[in-house]
Amino acid sequence: MEQPRLHDGLLEGLHVKADKSATLCLKDVGGVQYELKLDSVEYLLANEFREGNIILDLTIERGKDCNGSLLRALFDSNYLKNHPEFLDALQRRIETEDLALVSIDPSYGCSFLALCRTINWRVMTSG
């Protein structure tokens, strides 16, 4: 399934499981509901989850055009300063498409970053 247009849509829920999966419940402005399932999640950061999390942009980055500043935001800056090779190794894994970087930039509410191996979209309702 192609990535839906979610600008001004909502992040309605986030379910993180012990099996290293995460499911995001999303709704577009037309009311269509989606699930975005992330498997083999290695790192995840979700901040400021609130009622009415409005999505400015949702991006999925793989390959050579990965935004390094987003990747850095997942980790403590002191750790990265002391272990620069760690970030380089993750960047290489994204460049070779072993990992994907999923990012939600909010207009309001939850900012979200995750590094995972696989991504699956599912339409839940048609609005």
Per-residue pLDDT of the chain (127 residues; tens, 9 = 90+): 889 999 999 999 999 999 999 999 999 999 999 999 999 999 999 999 998 999 999 999 998 878 778 888 888 888 888 888 998 899 999 999 999 999 999 999 999 999 999 999 999 987 6
> Which pLDDT value is given to residue 107?
97
Report d(CA 19, CA 6) in Å as an integer: 27
> Which pLDDT value is given to residue 127?
64
Do 6 and 58 meet the contact criterion of CB atoms below 8 Å apart?
Answer: yes
Do 58 and 111 meet the contact criterion of CB atoms below 8 Å apart?
Answer: no
Report d(CA 119, CA 99) in Å as an integer: 10
Burial of 88 (0-12, 13-18, 19+ CB in 10 A): exposed
Q: Where are the alpha helices (DSSP H) in the chain?
A: 68-73, 77-82, 84-95
